[in-house]
Structure 1
């Protein structure tokens, strides 16, 4: 069971950092056009309140509407929950992309695979900080879930509003890993990790760990709960804790 961010797979990682901005965007558009079965992806739902990317299982039970509202920005730190969201999207046939610095992705792609992610539908793109808005805007044309893992990227307010409008029109979800984005996000996922299970005297393999999770919408906490992540047979699964049911936080 891989729970940290050091475990990574080796999907294709186009390096755009050395190219001029116009060339970066042109190459991204070419790759977008080459995505197989892109035209056959399910159409967006148009009923208000139902334009949601479902997240199955206990993780989805904790989220409003059991998933991620398309066209929104979601703040979620690196770790198991982010991997679980990527797994849910790609396992359902959606395409996802992770934008990272020149050192490569810092999220646990192996951990995402253990949760059921289809890494063939996940692109890792090395992106300069100053190109984040432009690259996200291009990817939104055909990528459902975009992870912005650039802690030092700064997007101007005017560019951010343009980007929000593009995400809404395309139905893409932007997941940001930096805590500086929390006040700009529609949904903020706060996570506190509890002690591990399975290690004895510093040896062994982690078999389970618990997470306390706070869900905030528009800056107001609306839900709090605990989830358990257990590993067996090379796969990991989310579970509800046996004696700690999910609880709704008081919002009045």
Structure 2
């Protein structure tokens, strides 16, 4: 999958930004828990903290960003990576892996979903790729970061895309339900034709190399929260199947 990988310095900046942003989110949860009688709504701020730090660390590595809007008030960051005289769009999303077949779900795909429509950017490049992807019996649910994002998905509103992109990437990070640590970060490309997230590179090795280390003390403020208490996942209207490069499947002995 080398043809679709990003430069390692850019991948490292995205991973570092994700971890630093999560740490800042945990610090805010701790502060608000101590100073307020009720503070559960701050669970919605995690995506903002992560996008903010990815933008700040990424700027040192030529990762640009724009504040864009869908609907009336939901704002999000679109990151732009420029390589090989092309521009690639990158967004960062919390994901949750569900171990079940995705065949029925793909038949129900909501064509008004904004991520599904953005996946059109990848149609030609993935179609022309010589790489074969192996579908896994998993579903990936992508977190909705804001009540207005939930509304935008339900109402079928689209994201603003103000420039031409050659590729569209989603960097997914997964948080362990029990430890609350970031357990994996992966670079994926959504495929509109198959309704799968195609794994381009597993960036999890960069978590161990990062200077931003998450400890049990850091996650203490949210340790007793259940997944459903912390966030709302997109469910049927914002989910993808999952597939990996064929050579990776062969190397793992599966």
Answer 1 or 2: which has greater strand percent.
Answer: 2
TM-score by length of 1: 0.28
Answer 1 or 2: which has greater helix percent.
Answer: 2
Task: Select the structure with the greater relative contact order (CA < 8 A; seq sep ≥ 6).
Answer: 2
